[in-house]
Amino acid sequence: MSSASPTSRLQPQRAPSGPLRVAIVGPAELPDVAAEAQRVARLLADRGHEAIVRIATRDQWGMGPLRSAAASPPDLVVVLGGDGSILRTARWLAYEQVPVLGVNLGTLGFLAGFSREDVAGAVDEITSGRFRLVEHLMFEAEVVRGGAVVRTELGLNEASILAGPPFSMIEIRLLVDGELATTYRADGLIVSTPVGSTAYNLSAGGPIVRKDLDAFVFTPLNPHTLSNRTVVESAARTYELLVPRPNAGSACVVDGQVVAALEAGDGVRVRRAAPRFTLVETSHHGYYRTLREKLGWGGGLRAAEPRTTGGR
């Protein structure tokens, strides 16, 4: 059930009218995820809610109750793991997004903003109406070959064109609504959403963009021309990335997954998708608190100690 649907049980600043149907999902590869899922399920049952536990390996992700035509959709999805688990859940939900509460069992987790100790309080705040739903931009990436779309992928973080082996620069032409904007000569190009701005884009030197904005961030990888800098553009436009002469290993990658190897003359079309990824925030967990905690924005040397990324 989409959060934008008028029949959704979870509405901003409104307490649900009855018990919630909650799906608990997580990666089976994570050692303690099964035990944590059962703990959360008991916590929900004690409060009168229905819990569906779906722990799956990566090759099984996207199969099971969430996509079953026979079962009614959940009101809420609790994702155990890290940001990678949330990305897989967003792809799993596809065009039928429901609100997500991310519980971080990894080391960083920008999207998985709640700790396991926060879950009980978060559920209580949701049932009391002390929460908000924050919708985030999703995109469609289409690989175009010979004028025909050969692959379409729904994404949340970013679509990237990577030069690949033999690791020489490639040329990428950027068209905006059919008009040539610029030509990059680089090791690749990242087209990021605001949600993805703290992921690959940030590692490549791109800016942090507030998650609820409707924009795309274009960050070239090691561009040959110093004037090629990151550009932030409206998500209301359609963007085409043309690759006239790719390397043998050049590829289009969406949210860390290889979508297609690129052939000469291929293009990748990126545009705003209809569904919106929806995260639950409570009164104690907001956007800037997450940035302060994850990026060490508290000031001082201790806050600036390096962190390792993880959770995918």
pLDDT tens by residue, 54-111: 998 877 766 555 555 446 789 999 999 988 899 999 988 999 999 999 999 876 677 8
pLDDT digits over 216-246, tens only? Answer: 999 999 999 888 899 999 999 999 999 999 9
Q: Helices (DSSP H) in the chain: which residue ranges?
A: 33-46, 83-93, 119-127, 200-203, 287-295
Burial class (CB in 10 A: 0-12, 13-18, 19+), 182: middle
Catalytic residues, by residue number, are: 83
* Per-residue model confidence (pLDDT) at position 284: 67
Domain that holds residue 251: 139-272
Domains of the chain: total: 2
Largest Cα span, the chain = 60
Q: Which residues contact 198 (CB under 8 A, 6 or more apart)?
A: 110, 208, 291, 294
Is-contact 162 253, C-beta < 8 A? Answer: yes
Residue 307 falls inside a structural domain: no
Question: Mean pLDDT score of the chain, rounded to an integer?
Answer: 86
Q: Residue 76 phi/psi, 5° resolution?
A: -150, 145
CATH number of the domain residue 236 falls in: 2.60.200.30
In a domain, 115, yes or no: yes
Same domain, 192 and 74: no
Domain membership of residue 176 (yes or no) is: yes
304: in domain:
no
* Rounded Cα gap, residues 174 and 241, in angstroms: 5
The helix (H) or strand (E) run that includes residue 66 is none
Residue 12 · residue 133 · CB < 8 Å: yes
Which secondary structure element, helix H or strand E, spans residue 162, and what is its range?
A: strand 158-162
Q: What is the mean pLDDT of residues 144-173?
A: 97
What predicted TM-score, i.e. pTM, was given to this entire model?
Answer: 0.85
Do residue 149 and residue 240 come from a single domain?
yes
d(CA 228, CA 190): 13
Q: Are residues 98 and 157 in the same domain?
A: no
More reliable by pLDDT, 1 or 114:
114
The reply to whether 4 falls in a domain is no
Asked if residue 195 is part of any domain, the answer here is yes
Name the phi and psi angles at 142, rounded to 5: -115, 130
Q: Where are the beta strands (DSSP E) in 11-108?
A: 21-27, 50-56, 76-81, 100-104
pLDDT tens for each residue of 109-134? 778 888 899 999 998 998 888 888 98
